[in-house]
């Protein structure tokens, strides 16, 4: 089963401008965010065109966790990014 609740539209990701790995600026909302390493990694990966299922794979490998936990973490992180307006 794949984490498919969030489908991030490409144009939403194109609004994001990164400064290093952990600082991102949304050019439409004008909001700036300091990201933790995991959020930064995930967001960079999304911008690079990675699918949600691939993200889960990468998180699972990178942090050596089981698939269910990786799916949950990706989903929660995407929730947070949406709520904070990063992906608004």
Partner 1 sequence: MSKHPPSNILDNQVKTVAVTGLHRGENPQPGAAVVASLRRRFPELRIVGLSYDPLESSLYSVYGDHPDIAYLMPYPGAGPDALFKRLEEILEKEDIAFIIPCLDLEIPNFMAIASKLLKKGVHCTLPTKDSLESVSKSNLYKLSQELGISAPRTESAMDLFTLETIANEIGYPVYVKGIFYEAHIANTIEELIDASKEISRVWGWPLLVQEAIAGEEYDVVGLADGDGGIIKSCAVRKFQRSSIGKGFAGIVVEDPELDRIAQRIIKKLSWNGPFELEFLKAPGSTHTLLEINPRFPAWVDFPSQIGCNLPGRLIENLTGAKQTPLGTCTAGQMFVRHCVDLVGDVSELAEMSSNGERAITPYKTLLKATQ
Q: For residue 25, state whether it binds partner 1 (rule: CB under 8 A).
A: yes
Instruction: Give the gyration radius of the chain's Cα atoms.
Output: 12
Question: For the residues of 25-76, what is the DSSP string, one character each?
Answer: EETTT--EEEPPHHHHHHHHHHHTT--HHHHHHHHHHHHT--HHHHHHHHHH
Selected range binding partner 1 among 30-38, 47-55, 59-67, 70-78, rule: CB under 8 A:
30-38
Q: For residue 2, state whether it binds partner 1 (rule: CB under 8 A).
A: no
Q: For residue 18, state whether it binds partner 1 (rule: CB under 8 A).
A: no
- Binding to partner 1 (CB under 8 A) within 32-61 occurs at 32
Binding footprint of partner 1 on the chain (CB under 8 A): 17, 25, 27-32, 82-85, 88
């Amino acid at each position: 089963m794949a984490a498919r609740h969030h489908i991030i539209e490409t144009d939403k990701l194109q609004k994001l401008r990164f400064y290093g790995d952990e600082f991102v600026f949304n050019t439409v909302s004008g909001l700036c965010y300091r990201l933790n390493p995991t959020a930064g990694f995930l967001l960079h990966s999304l911008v690079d065109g990675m699918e949600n299922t691939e993200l889960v794979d990468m998180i699972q490998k990178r942090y050596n966790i089981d698939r269910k936990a990786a799916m949950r973490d990706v989903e929660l992180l995407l929730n947070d990014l949406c709520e904070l307006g990063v992906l608004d």
